[in-house]
Amino acid sequence: MRYGGTSRGATMTVRNVFIISPSKRVELILSYPAFIGRNFNEILRVVDALQLSAKYQVATPVNWQPGDDTVVLPFISDEEAERMFGVGGGFRKVRCYLRYVLDPSLRSLLVSQPHAAPGVREGTD
């Protein structure tokens, strides 16, 4: 394969995925060659991560999945992070630049069911 086409000289379409925020800003562009299928689960994971980051001021680490721990954004001080996430938020400082918190979108679930593990519903058969 060479730049500009296939090894036979034929041109093929490149498929793109664009994720655009409500403020009409391009948040992500994924480009796929015509012969590679798109991964819809990855697209949904990225949308979840973008929404989580916008709403709760957290970042998502490598291989993050909804419900996993998140990272406090670097411009938020330790004091502010403890105020924002400290009560039931699982704030933990690994390094001065690396601070984790539980997925903030699960906070309401943990408050309403304090003894249930994330993703487990009590009282259902």
Q: Indicate which CATH number applies to the domain containing 60.
A: 3.30.1020.10
Is there a domain that residue 21 lies in?
no
Amino acid making up residue 31 = S
pLDDT score at 9? 64
> Which tens digits make up the pLDDT trace of 19-59?
999 999 999 999 998 888 888 999 999 999 999 999 999 99
pLDDT at 124 over 80: no
Residue-level pLDDT at 86 = 74
Q: Which tens digit of pLDDT belongs to each residue from 59-86?
A: 999 999 999 999 999 999 988 988 888 7
Domain count, the chain: 1
**Are 38 and 14 within 8 A, CB to CB?**
no
Record the pTM: 0.72
Q: How far apart are CA 48 and CA 32, in angstroms?
A: 21
Considering the domain boundaries, does residue 121 fall inside one? no
Domain limits for position 62: 40-112
